[in-house]
Amino acid sequence: MNVVRTVQGDIDPSGMGPTDSHEHLFFVTLLQPGDEFVDVDLAIAEARTLVDAGARTLVDWTPLELGRDLEGLLRVSRATGLHVVAATGVHRDAHYSADHPLRAETADGLARRFVADIGGPGVRSGVIKIGASYHRLQPFERKALAAAADAHLITGVPLCVHTEHGTMGLGIVEHLQRLGVAPCSVILAHLDRNPDPVEHAETGASGAWLQLDGPGRTKYWPDSTVLQLISDLADRGLSTQLLLGGDTGRRSMMRAYGGGPGLDYLFARFKPRLERELGTELSRLIFVENPARAFAFEPRPRAGDEDPPVSHLLP
Ligand SMILES: [Zn+2]
């Protein structure tokens, strides 16, 4: 039976309800100095606004060593009633300093860490984050992809991929396919940074999930650009592969920290507009039905709790 793994335990995918498929409740990175956010009480306040706007599930994409706070996510979930899915995995290369200890880990070691996060005794992760650079995969990212593929094959949880400006979508899917990962277990984020429906339709033909997460980034592009991309992709037959997130990944974007537009922008402002312009059926697919398939997986039996069977890896 398929489940979605939340910080409070596994749930039936049909219980997810309206879902924000990409968020960060805590985040610290050297790429955004001064824009970190780590306060649990403020995360609770911010998450309440999302619940008030109609969301029932949030998928948090903050991976290892970037301010991820599993106990904090659990506190937010308990305080707000929001289902929260946590991530293990790592981000793209540039988020880690040159001497960061994660870089010294082998692919095998990373895979063991990911598997332990997904099946361990504490707060469990329900997705594996990986990342790619702009139009290329760096050595650290190749290692992380190999580790994530192995951890996916052991656990079944989906892979959540940061694309840089929406580039390399198909290349990443094909790379993961060579590592044994089916495209239907791959979620590609930030595709609307490159609002090219033809390119993303080519990627979508593989069966991978196409995630758009740029509503509210008005200084880069208007929401109309994101809506047009959704419309174009739906016209190309991809409405059952689309996901939407807010990706409110900066302190300055959170109202609880004095910023804006706030964690609830996706549900309070963008979703109603999508429904007015593109219809409620497409909205139901994107916010309810598609996430319930994209983030669901069939838990696989474990060979041993302490020593998961990580086998091959890098040549
Ligand atoms: Zn993100």
pLDDT, mean of residues 217-223: 94
CA 20 – ligand 1 centroid, Å? 12
Neighbours of 122 (CB within 10 A): 11
For residue 180, is it within any domain?
yes
pLDDT, mean of residues 216-227: 95
Please say if the pLDDT value at position 189 is more than 80: yes
pLDDT digits (tens, 9 = 90+) for 83-92: 999 999 999 9
For residue 225, is it within any domain?
yes
CA 148 – ligand 1 centroid, Å? 17
Q: Would strands 4-6 and 57-60 be described as parallel, antiparallel, or unpaired?
A: unpaired
For residue 262, is it within any domain?
yes
**What percentage of the chain has pLDDT greater than the value 70?**
96
pLDDT, mean of residues 10-36: 96
CATH number of the CATH domain containing 155: 3.20.20.140
For residue 304, is it within any domain?
no
pLDDT, mean of residues 208-232: 96
pLDDT band, very low/low/confident/very high, at 314 (cuts 50, 70, 90): very low
CA 59 – ligand 1 centroid, Å? 10
pLDDT, mean of residues 116-131: 97
Please say if the pLDDT value at position 13 is more than 50: yes
At residue 163, the pLDDT reads: 98
Q: Would strands 57-60 and 159-162 be described as parallel, antiparallel, or unpaired?
A: unpaired
pLDDT digits (tens, 9 = 90+) for 57-71: 999 999 999 999 999
CA 272 – ligand 1 centroid, Å? 22
At residue 302, the pLDDT reads: 63
CA 176 – ligand 1 centroid, Å? 20
**Ligand 1 ion: residues within 5 Å (CB):** 61, 247, 249
Q: Which residues form the domain of 234? A: 4-294
Write a three-state SS string for the chain.
CCEEEECCEEECHHHCCCEEEEECCCECCCCCCCCCECCHHHHHHHHHHHHHCCCCEEEECCCCCCCCCHHHHHHHHHHHCCEEECEEECCCHHHCCCCCHHHHCCHHHHHHHHHHHHHCCCCCCCEEEEECECCECCHHHHHHHHHHHHHHHHHCCCEEEECHHHCCHHHHHHHHHHCCCCHHHEEEECHHHCCCHHHHHHHHCCCCEEEECCCCCCCCCCHHHHHHHHHHHHHCCCHHHEEECCCCCCHHHCHHHCCCCCCCHHHHHHHHHHHHHHCHHHHHHHHHHHHHHHCCECCCCCCCCCCCCCCCCCC
At residue 300, the pLDDT reads: 84
For residue 187, is it within any domain?
yes
For residues 96 and 247, what is the distance between their CA atoms, to the nearest angstrom?
A: 20
Tokens, residue 274: 């999508």
pLDDT digits (tens, 9 = 90+) for 224-259: 999 999 999 999 999 999 999 999 999 999 999 999
CA 243 – ligand 1 centroid, Å? 13
Please say if the pLDDT value at position 307 is more than 90: no
Q: How many domains does the chain have?
A: 1
For residue 55, is it within any domain?
yes
CA 28 – ligand 1 centroid, Å? 12
What is the layout of strands, in order, in the sheet containing 159-162?
Answer: 87-89, 127-131, 159-162, 186-189, 209-212, 242-244
At residue 315, the pLDDT reads: 34
CA 304 – ligand 1 centroid, Å? 32
CA 134 – ligand 1 centroid, Å? 15
Residue 90 near residue 130, CB atoms below 8 Å: yes
Closest CA to 289 of 232, 226, 241, 223: 241
pLDDT, mean of residues 150-166: 98
pLDDT digits (tens, 9 = 90+) for 25-68: 999 999 999 999 999 999 999 999 999 999 999 999 999 999 99
CA 29 – ligand 1 centroid, Å? 12
What length is written for the chain? 315
Average pLDDT over the chain reads 95
CA 253 – ligand 1 centroid, Å? 12
CA 292 – ligand 1 centroid, Å? 19
pLDDT, mean of residues 133-145: 98
pTM beyond 0.85: yes
CA 247 – ligand 1 centroid, Å? 5
For residue 299, is it within any domain?
no
For residue 309, is it within any domain?
no
Residue 110 near residue 116, CB atoms below 8 Å: no
CA 62 – ligand 1 centroid, Å? 7
CA 307 – ligand 1 centroid, Å? 31
Residue 175 near residue 144, CB atoms below 8 Å: no
